């Protein structure tokens, strides 16, 4: 629970605030960049919400915070139900995509995603265990398979697997993080699951990192901690600073994604981004030129 006495000085004066327990995971400014941002290794409120819709959005960020570092100093009349998550992000021919919310401290506030499909719903990475979220997902058809992009973001996977009796997939190289997982991805060859879902091993950030591709054309890429978007610099980011295993292998993994037709990038950390047709390859080439993997 956020404490008023620990309110960060960077917050704009007003009802909402972030306190010193913030772990700089970024979940608040991913949900509500209009009011939250990052500064000096913490998030803060840069603009106070005004009106019912803006207050509602800020309350979503409060509910999602994995360490309860967001507080409300004044009485707010808006009431936010715990059942508000998951939130629809994008409707796709291969399945509607939802943001799960309820970010977990165990995965440093990483995003998790739910895909609704007639052949069975899919959970990508694990939110923290939440009975309200579980009730809502059950109402939406449950979960048949869970795909864990890497060892960092497994969170409460065991509780979700037990609740929905779903199969869990993880790469063999990261399997010690989820030793009960029913299915293992092996090697670096892409693995097609059904007609429109592909697991692409992308070693680098961790030895067993994978990205997940939804759709055959104008695809959605769930990138875990492999790639994310920087809106200030308008570039795709592959980070050496946050590479826990092998940086040169990570860059090779990035290069293998050049021929995809990505429309939406949905990462575990950092900003999501929509690409116009043809922009994905140009953006990825720019990143690889920066790291001197390809040259003009």
Q: What is the pLDDT of residues 111-136, one digit of tens each?
A: 999 999 999 999 999 999 999 999 99
CA dist., res. 13 & res. 111, Å (int): 29
3-state DSSP call for residue 43?
strand
What was the pLDDT predicted at 211? 98
Q: What is the dihedral of CA 158, 160, 165, 171, to 10 degrees?
A: -60
Burial of 218 from C-beta contacts in 10 A (0-12 / 13-18 / 19+): middle
Domains of the chain, each with CATH number or no CATH? 4-72 (3.30.70.20), 85-290 (3.60.15.10)
pLDDT tens per residue, range 210-240: 999 999 889 999 999 999 999 989 999 999 9
Angle at 79 (CA atoms; ends 58, 57), nearest 5 degrees: 20
Mean pLDDT, rounded, for 79-91: 81
Q: Mean pLDDT over residues 9-27, rounded? A: 95
pLDDT per residue as tens digits for the range 235-293? 999 999 999 999 999 999 999 999 999 999 999 998 999 999 999 999 999 999 999 88
User: What per-residue confidence (pLDDT) applies to 296?
Assistant: 57
**What pLDDT is stored for residue 292 in this prediction?**
86
Question: Cβ(64)–Cβ(28) under 8 Å?
Answer: yes
Q: What is the pLDDT of residues 168-203, one digit of tens each?
A: 999 999 999 999 999 999 999 999 998 899 999 999
Are 261 and 217 contacting, i.e. CB atoms less than 8 angstroms apart?
yes
Mean pLDDT over the full length of the chain: 94
């Amino acid at each position: 629970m956020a404490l008023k006495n620990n309110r960060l000085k960077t917050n704009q004066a007003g009802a909402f605030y972030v306190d010193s327990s913030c772990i700089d995971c970024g979940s608040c400014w991913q949900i509500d960049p209009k009011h939250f941002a990052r500064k000096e290794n913490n998030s803060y409120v840069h603009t106070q919400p005004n009106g019912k819709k803006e207050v509602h959005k800020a309350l979503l960020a409060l509910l999602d915070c994995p360490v309860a570092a967001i507080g409300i100093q004044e009485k707010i009349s808006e009431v936010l139900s715990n059942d508000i998550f998951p939130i629809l992000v994008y409707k796709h021919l291969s399945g509607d995509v939802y943001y799960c919310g309820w970010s977990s401290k165990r995965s440093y506030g990483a995003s998790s995603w739910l895909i609704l499909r007639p052949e069975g719903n899919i959970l990508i990475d694990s939110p923290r265990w939440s009975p309200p979220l579980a009730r809502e997902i059950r109402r939406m058809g449950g979960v048949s398979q869970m795909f864990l992009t890497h060892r960092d973001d497994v969170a409460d996977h065991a509780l979700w697997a037990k609740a929905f009796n779903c199969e869990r997939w993880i790469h063999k190289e990261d399997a010690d993080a989820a030793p009960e997982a029913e299915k293992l991805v092996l090697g670096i060859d892409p693995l097609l699951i059904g007609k429109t879902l592909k697991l692409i091993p992308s070693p680098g950030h961790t030895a067993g990192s994978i990205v997940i591709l939804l759709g055959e054309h104008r695809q959605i890429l769930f990138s875990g901690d492999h790639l994310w978007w920087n809106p200030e610099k308008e570039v795709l980011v592959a980070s050496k600073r946050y590479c826990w295993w092998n940086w040169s292998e990570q860059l090779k993994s990035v290069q293998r994604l050049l021929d995809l037709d990505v429309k939406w990038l949905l990462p575990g950390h950092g900003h999501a981004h929509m690409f116009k047709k043809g922009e994905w390859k140009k953006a990825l080439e720019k990143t690889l030129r920066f790291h001197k993997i390809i040259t003009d």
